[in-house]
Amino acid sequence: MTETAGLQGRRVRIVLRRFHPQTPREVIRGIITDMDQYGFRVSGRPFHDVADLETSQRIESHVEVDTKVHWISYNSIRHSEIILPGSTPEQEDSEIQRRKPLTAHELSCQSSS
């Protein structure tokens, strides 16, 4: 457990497993606040990986405006990334965090497509 203690306070991007291929990919972006043998807590926001209607490229947009603490079990993680200060992923994370949240209409369109 001492190896994981160094992860507390780190900025992360966590892609969760999907239960059905047609559901949008859910991503949690935030900071690890606590860990145990089953999972960890991340203070952050959930994002959905959606198609941009103008460019058809995949983008991440947050679905909640407020930051909350999320408990994430290790079994629910598809893959994760530690975001290092001053790195390109940190710049991308900052840009993604500034985007407007998805509207209720956009969320329903994504789940039906």
More confident of the two residues 10 and 62: 10
**Rounded to whole angstroms, how far apart are CA atoms 42 and 38?**
14
Break the chain into its structural domains and give their ranges: 2-112
Q: What pLDDT digit, counting tens, does each position of 32-82 carry?
A: 999 999 999 999 999 988 777 777 777 788 788 888 999 999 999 999 999
- Please give the class, per CATH, of domain 2-112: mainly beta
**Rounded to whole angstroms, how far apart are CA atoms 94 and 105?**
25
Q: Report residue 25 as tokens.
A: 């990919």
Prediction pTM value: 0.75
pLDDT class of 1 with cuts at 50, 70, 90: very low
Most confident segment among 52-61, 89-98, 100-109? 89-98
**Rounded to whole angstroms, how far apart are CA atoms 49 and 41?**
21
